[in-house]
Amino acid sequence: MEEVNSLDDWRHCFQAEISDHSIRSEWQPKYTDGRDAQNRKGRAMGLTGIVLAGGLSRRLGRDKAIEAIGSEPLISRVIGRLSELTSETVVVVNNETRGEELPLPKNAKTVIDIYADSGSLGGIFTGLTAATNEWGFVAACDMPFLNAGLMRQMIALRPNYDAVVPVPDGYPEPTHALYSKACLPHIERRLKAGKLKIAGFFDDVRVRYVSADEIDRFDSEHLSFFNVNTPEDLSRALTLAHEGK
C-alpha cells in the first residue's frame, strides 16, 4: 500500500465506501513518520478477529486447521489475513489440548468454548465474549481465501447495525460475518435452549445483509466463503493457492 499523508490519500487507499463519520474516525491514516505500527497497517481499531477452530474435521478425517496451504498451515493463513484488518485475534477452541497444539502467533488469545458442544454458534458467543472490542469479525479456520477488499467493505457497513452478514447465493454465510456485542444476549438465549442454527438469532438484531452484487465487486468468484471440508476441497485449495489466490 502506498504512503498516505492526507485524509484524501487515505480514503483512496481503501476500496470501502466510507460514508459514515464514526467509521472515518475509526480507520487510522497510514503515517510516514513511524507512529503506531497498527495504524500504519491500516487496521480497523476497535475490531477483534475471531477464528472458530473447535470443529472435528470429520469429513477430512484429520485436523484441517494444520494442513499446509501454500507455505503455511491453513489456520495461520486465516489468522494472517484477518489480522491485517483487526487489532486483536481471538481463537476459539473446544478444549485446552487443542489450544496448545495449534500453531498460533504469540499475540493471539486462545479461549475455550463457554458452552460445550454448541457448534459454531457457541464459538461465536465465546469469541465475542472474550473480545475486548465491541465488534468481532468471525471467520472459520478453514477459509483460505479471505478477501481484504470484501472484509473492508463489510467493516465499513457496520454503523446502525448489530451484524453484517454476506448472502452470496441466497443463504447467509454466518461464519464469515461481523457481530457486535449487542448480539450476545440473543445468542445466549438460543444456546441455552439448545438451538444452534446461527441464523436463528438474526431476526432479533439489526442485520446488514451484503448482497451477491455487493460481494461481486470485490470477490466475483466468492472464494471468500470457500471452506475446506473434504479431501477434494483441500486439493482445490492447494491448486488455488498455487495460482496465487
Ligand X SMILES: Nc1nc2c(ncn2[C@@H]2O[C@H](COP(=O)(O)OP(=O)(O)O)[C@@H](O)[C@H]2O)c(=O)[nH]1
Q: Least distance in Å: CB of 92 to ligand X? A: 4
Segment 32 to 61, residues that bind Mg ion, using CB under 5 A: none
Instruction: Enumerate residues 6+ apart whose C-beta is below 8 A from 64.
Output: 55, 57, 74, 141, 142, 228, 229, 234
Is 52 a binding residue for ligand X by CB under 6 A? The answer is: yes
Q: Which of 172, 104, 173, 161 is nearest to 134 (CA)?
A: 161
| CB crowding 75-109: b at 16 or more within 10 Å, else e | bbbbbebbbbbbbbbbbbbbeeebbeebebeeebb
Residue of minimal CB distance from ligand X? 54
Among 15, 38, 39, 229, binds ligand X (CB under 6 A): 229
Among 48, 120, 153, 224, binds ligand X (CB under 6 A): 120
Among 13, 229, 233, 245, binds Mg ion (CB under 5 A): 229
Q: What's the grid cell of residue 139? A: 471467520
Q: Least distance in Å: CB of 227 to ligand X? A: 5
User: In the complex with ligand X, which residue's Cβ is closer, 108 or 140?
Assistant: 140
Is 92 a binding residue for ligand X by CB under 6 A? The answer is: yes
Q: Least distance in Å: CB of 167 to Mg ion? A: 18
Cβ pair 49, 86 in contact under 8 A: yes
